[in-house]
Structure 1
């Protein structure tokens, strides 16, 4: 795109930003994608990965909006940019061309939870067993499968961590792209030999805390 066109799109993006500031967090980012690249970017400190004229990632919400032409929401586990985030995208038109307006919320933002699980149904061998949610100590994503643990037993479920995160009670917290824990089973938090945080559960399980999630864990547990 020419410098003139980019300036025009920047002006239009700033207008969207002013309109949206009343209902989005101050540290959210606003980006506009069109023709495979980002043509406007007002990024917060938490989202420095979004840059003007970057190519749109095939797994991003902007890509999905341009493909489906409908409002799209994504709760990312950090696979795309290394930092978890929640984003909402809307289809718009700019000079008769399809575009995507995306709001990227700060990492601390958690979208409104859906109706909460009261139990999880897990599979062991050829049996399906309903387990009360309060008995689940932690949930793990391993080799493209999801497992949960309760009463020192392992169960397989078809529900992904991303889906579970929206429907688990608020005493479950994600600590890693591969782990969600029930904080009522948390024994202690410490650091390993490389100064990375590790949580120990009451059943003896030791699980790593990734840098992407440590601030949220600190906020919830106030340490």
Structure 2
């Protein structure tokens, strides 16, 4: 397809992403471009068919953005990622996929920087994470501190059965939500176990409701 031929430009665009993120571009059937990262390589080649079960396949099939964990059954390498389909004249013609390494394997703690040093905090003890300035603040049982990773990075590190992104500035542990209240139009307000009130923004409200099934 003519629109996918400028691979030099795609390489330049790829430089906008972290070296830990692989980028894949497909048309409606096959991959046409792939740039592996230093951390994860799915061994995709231009011309390969889009595999059933992959993020690209899910995005092409649904017509919507997909964010998910894919186990090793598809590419023999587990990964997290996000795929977005793109359209032309109302028809899906391809997808772009950002591929993140599966950091959670064998990992069950968040290292939190405090005034005295670093403390390993079990996932289950983390109440919520919040963007504060250029750092991520971590609030947990008996521990309050920071981490250098971005909230977006944590979104692909923390186990999905515990943590949900509810706002551009917050990820919450669902086991620490005490109550959920309706707030302004199409938004929600969370009362956490420590009494903190955290907003669910309009852009995340539908996603939040779907994940928690209410």
- Pairwise TM-score range, normalised by the shorter structure: 0.5 to 0.7
Matches within 5 A, 1:119-134: 119-134=109-124
- SS of aligned partner of 1:18: coil
How many Å separate the matches in 1 of 2:142 and 2:185?
29
Matches within 5 A, 1:1-223: 9=2, 16-19=27-30, 23=52, 24-25=56-57, 27-28=59-60, 44=63, 86-87=82-83, 103-104=95-96, 113-116=102-105, 117-151=107-141, 153-170=143-160, 171-194=162-185, 196-223=187-214
How many Å separate the matches in 2 of 1:11 and 1:152?
52
- SS of aligned partner of 1:147: strand
How many Å separate the matches in 2 of 1:147 and 1:11?
41
How many Å separate the matches in 2 of 1:124 and 1:111?
28
Paired residues of 2:59 and 2:95 also in contact (CA < 8 A):
no
| Change over 3 Å in CA distance of 1:74–1:132 after alignment to 2 | closer
How many Å separate the matches in 2 of 1:186 and 1:28?
34
TM (norm. structure 1) is 0.55
List per-residue Cα deviations over 1:45-86 (Å, max 9, x = no partner).
Answer: 669xxxxxxxxxxxxxxxxxxxxxxxxx996xxxxxxxxxx2
- SS of aligned partner of 2:27: helix
Residues 151-160 or 19-28, more deviating = 19-28
Residue 37 of structure 1 is matched in structure 2 by: none
Q: Deviation at 1:192?
A: 2.1
List per-residue Cα deviations over 1:111-163 (Å, max 9, x = no partner).
Answer: 78432541112122242222222111000111121110012542111121111
Q: What do you get for the CA RMSD once the two structures are aligned?
A: 3.8
Larger radius of gyration between Structure 1 and Structure 2: 1
TM (norm. structure 2) is 0.57
How many Å separate the matches in 2 of 1:168 and 1:11?
34
**Structure 2 residues not aligned, in runs of 5+:** 6-25, 31-48, 67-78, 85-92
